[in-house]
Structure 1
């Protein structure tokens, strides 16, 4: 359970232009469309937080939501045996790691393994199965909703 005595802000990293990297924006869109979800959400399919605009978004979120709990969501590559694994981290995520090392962001991070890290990272992300990534994004969104108590509203929304 997230400490909701503080404001919760969810920042979903990635780009819908690359199948494997679309997990974050899809999670953001799912959460944003749930009118009962009690948090600010940044990074959606129509307004993604990508490697190109990430610094501006991170500055905006930190300035606008001082003292908030920052939950970061991102796709990652991992061992083939871990494909589909969703991990919750207590130290945020390292967004845009494929394009170069970036610093960590978030108080809590959720990462989901969308491809095998043994090959070329960009190729793996581009060749990821979009349907599988979408299903994984729904699982991540459900996990987040459950953690913040959003599932109590889910039965009323069909």
Structure 2
């Protein structure tokens, strides 16, 4: 299915917003909801939270997954990647193959940490198209996602492994909560479009 992130408005660049911005959950959640509203009501949404708890900075994805561990209570929503069962470099391809086998034409949202400029640390980005995990640390992993959500957890450009290991846990946890709450908000709004779908209790 062909899909444009910007079908619903005239913006020509991805959303980029600080996790500390006032009303960030509502703004990010509404942005995601507008994306979801372009999908068929019965199309599966698959969340793939990428990362590992062996590295503080790289734990953003699994923390988002942990915060969304009950999201599959919504119809046509599936989650891969939590603290208990992370999706990382060693099993990403296997996970992607499993998704392709289990779901017909799913809408995949890839969620991961990334590194960026000093001025961008703490920002959350929503972009159209697949995510290329591991690119910042020179890993060759399969691209995944119809859209992607990334959290800029630290500064990139040098000693990336060391930087990820020395990222503040508080920052990663707070960003993961914002991302998870925003996704939950968007999926809840999507679920109320049809009267026979009940929101998560």
Q: TM-score, normalised by structure 1?
A: 0.89
Structure 1 residue matching 2:148: 3-state secondary structure: strand
2:175 alignment partner, one of 129, 132, 136 = 136
The answer on whether the counterparts of 2:114 and 2:154 sit within 8 Å (CA) in structure 1 is: yes
Aligned 8 A contact 1:36 1:150 in 2: no
TM-score (norm 2): 0.71
| 1:46 corresponds to | 84
Give per-residue Cα distances to partners, 1:93-119, cap 9 Å, x unaligned. 111222423342110100010010032
Secondary structure, counterpart of 1:149 in structure 2: helix
Q: Return the offset for 1:25.
A: 0.5
C-alpha root-mean-square deviation of aligned residues, in Å? 2.0
Unaligned 5+ segments in structure 2 are 1-32, 193-198
**Structure-2 residue corresponding to 1:114:** 153
Aligned residues: 155
Q: Which runs of 4+ in 1 moved over 3 A?
A: 33-38, 150-154
In structure 1, list runs of 5 or more residues that go unmatched. Answer: none
Q: How does 1:6-155 map to 2 (within 5 A)?
A: 6-34=43-71, 36-38=73-75, 39-97=77-135, 98-149=137-188
